[in-house]
Chains A and B, each alone.
Chain A
């Protein structure tokens, strides 16, 4: 049992698989983002520039690591490693693993805890370097957290509550992922699912600090925000954590809202995998599309948009799902 778990953590769907997923997702994301802005994107490194993300990581891996006076480089490294580990652990809770997943009744609490770690780490590493730009960036991340974390949690809880009411799963992320796709077939649950999906995608965009919510790392105002003083391996870890958040967040939405392969178990396994990949690519494309078509908001504008529109949307979805669950059970 332990060697199966270690295989899952290290090989699939853990560290090695996620590294490959980051590499291919980033290449696709950059290509699509560039095409949407009438550019070519990565071209020269490898065929169609496919090796560009690897080259970027390797460059940072061998670059000098400068720690400025008064900073805490070891604590920053530890925080970034724990945040990366929490996202790896979250992947093991999704139905992508060939062996026994990390699943239990009420494990959604564990998933929520793991999801918060990257945000905390990215904000705290800004506080660990004595720099005005880093401090302002970290302050902006904390301010944004008040808006999107609640919204993201509410939107993720909606399919979990509904699928718990409709099936025998007990607030388990794994079993909710297997059953939640059936909610699209029920006329009573389709509206909260649509609202929760929209809120989840917008919140994920904000969680990823992508446009129009890249306020904490606005390069024209505050250089690179919380990451201004980082270089070398630590900067590679920061970029890796951001890319991993995109991969795991998109995978979470794919599995929880669309069910991944679960609606297609009657198809041959390779076709089911292809369909899951297509669903994942659609989610990544939507995130890229939002990034390409919008300009950066001010922090107060972003907060007002969340509190006026996105949070009520997620709250309505959550309340409706609670009422439906209550009536069903």
Chain B
């Protein structure tokens, strides 16, 4: 474990040295290039393809972060599963519940043993 800790420290040193090199390069670049970080010039407004967009409306709600996953992938998967498995017949539902119970018992026995 000591050698792993040493490896982690060496990797951290590599990260720190690289960060320092890049910060020095940034400072060097800032000497020559114009840096626009203050003021209210047109350049500092969010790019919205020529439209004007107020700052509060530029973000994405947290719930929308994984929209593609939930809405496009899991929903279509759920729909295809529902259409193929859900028949509306009580005995089919009992069969699925029975299979689920058997799986749960097998998993619990495997964990306990």
Give the B-binding residues of A (Cβ under 8 A).
Answer: 5-6, 9-10, 14-15, 61-70, 73, 77-78, 80-82, 84-86, 88-90, 92-93, 102-107, 109-110, 114, 129-133, 135-136, 138-140, 142-143, 146, 223, 228-229, 232-233, 237, 298-300, 303-304, 307
Partner of B17 from A85, A146, A232 at Cβ < 8 Å: A85
Give the A-binding residues of B (Cβ under 8 A).
Answer: 3-4, 6-8, 10-19, 21-23, 25-26, 29-30, 32-37, 40, 43-49, 53, 55, 57-60, 64-69, 72-73, 76
Contacts A102-B11, A142-B66, A303-B69; A233 near B29 (Cβ below 8 A): yes
Partner of A65 from B10, B34, B40, B73 at Cβ < 8 Å: B34
Residue numbers in B under 8 Å from A135 (CB-CB): 58-60
Closest CB in chain B relative to A70 CB, distance in Å: 5
Known: A233-B25, A307-B73. 12 other contacts (CB 8 A): A9-B13, A62-B32, A63-B33, A70-B58, A73-B37, A86-B15, A88-B14, A90-B11, A93-B7, A110-B4, A129-B46, A228-B47
Partner of B47 from A104, A223, A303 at Cβ < 8 Å: A223
Residue numbers in B under 8 Å from A140 (CB-CB): 68
Closest CB in chain A relative to B42 CB, distance in Å: 10
Contacts A102-B10, A142-B65; A68 near B15 (Cβ below 8 A): no
Closest CB in chain A relative to B101 CB, distance in Å: 26
Chain B contact surface mostly: helix
Closest CB in chain A relative to B31 CB, distance in Å: 10
Contacts A104-B6, A130-B55, A299-B72; A233 near B33 (Cβ below 8 A): yes
Contact A77 B26, beta carbon cutoff 8 Å: yes
Residue numbers in B under 8 Å from A86 (CB-CB): 11, 15
Distance of A93 Cα from B16 Cα, bound (Å)? 16
